[in-house]
Amino acid sequence: MAKVNIEKKILTKNEMKAAEVRERLKDVAVLNFVSSPGSGKTTLLENVLAGLKEKYKIAVVEGDQQTTHDADRIKAAGVEAFQVNTGNACHLEAVDVERALDTLGYDLDLLVIENVGNLVCPAEYDLGEDAKVMLISVTEGDDKPIKYPVMTRACEAMIVNKTDLLPYVDFDVEGCIRYAKGVNPDLEIMTVSCRAKEGLDTVTAYIEKKILEKKGK
Ligand SMILES: Nc1nc2c(ncn2[C@@H]2O[C@H](COP(=O)(O)OP(=O)(O)O)[C@@H](O)[C@H]2O)c(=O)[nH]1
Ligand SMILES: [Mg+2]
């Protein structure tokens, strides 16, 4: 007799919550920014969102173990922000995003999530986002995309930041991109310097494309 194997993936509590968040944000572009601490996530958001906020309704969920520094910086740039302090935890969970949205509201064009700074556990947690975006700064070493392949594979785009510091560090941009593409050939790559204000238009265009894709649905 022929045997049929029926396998059903059992969703974790976080995956179920992420699905709920995704459903409620089905017309909103949701981007989850991940990186090592200090790569420049908040600086990039301060720069890029300041322009986009003139056209779109934007909110930011900030994740850090402690302090409200990043939410304060985003608010100072004129964008709504909600700080989640994760205490001992190394990542945000979908329930944190849901809690933030209770305050921020769902009437948005773009929700940006800045995850807790590390390239390990945020890779494993779906927050209901459309895409994860990884930052790497040139002071970190160009091999990070292959040292943290789970994250590299989980991301849609990688932004290489702090290119103004290239003359002072041993960082091979092409080599870094080669490592990254070796792990995830579809990765979209952008290079920027938030300090020198270079490449920011490319990031703005990427985010705007994500907003318009969701609006078009
Ligand atoms: N030289 C240089 N410094 C930068 C650049 N972008 C950010 N920084 C600095 O890097 C540090 C960490 O930035 P921050 O945005 O807080 O990083 P986050 O932890 O990833 O959010 C700050 O001192 C920033 O001023 C850049 O393009 N060039
Ligand atoms: Mg930050």
3-state secondary structure of 179: helix
Report the chain's terminal Cα–Cα distance, integer Å: 46
Query: What pLDDT does 41 receive?
Result: 98
Q: Is 136 in the pocket of ligand 1 (CB under 6 A)?
A: no
* C-beta 199 within 6 A of ligand 1: no
Q: What is the pLDDT of residues 93-149, one digit of tens each?
A: 999 999 999 999 999 999 999 999 999 999 999 999 999 999 999 999 999 999 999
Whole-number pLDDT of residue 89: 96
Ranges of each domain in the chain = 13-216
**Which residue has its alpha carbon closest to ligand 1 atom 7?**
40
8 A C-beta contact, residue 149 and residue 179:
no
The first and second tokens of residue 13, run together, are: 């509590």
User: Which one is the CATH code of 13-216: 1.10.3720.10, 3.40.50.300, 3.30.70.330, 3.40.50.800?
Assistant: 3.40.50.300
Please tell me if the CB atom of residue 35 comes closer than 6 angstroms to any atom of ligand 1. yes
Name the pTM for this structure. Answer: 0.95
The rounded average pLDDT for each run of 10 residues, N- to C-terminus, in the chain (217 residues) is 78 95 98 98 98 97 98 98 97 98 98 98 97 98 98 98 98 98 98 98 98 89
What pLDDT was estimated at residue 217? 62
Tell me the two tokens of residue 88.
């001992």
How close is the Cα of 194 to the center of ligand 1, in Å? 8
Distance between Cα 36 and ligand 1 center (Å): 11
* CA–CA distance, 199 with 204 (Å, rounded to integer): 9
39: Cβ below 6 Å to ligand 1?
yes
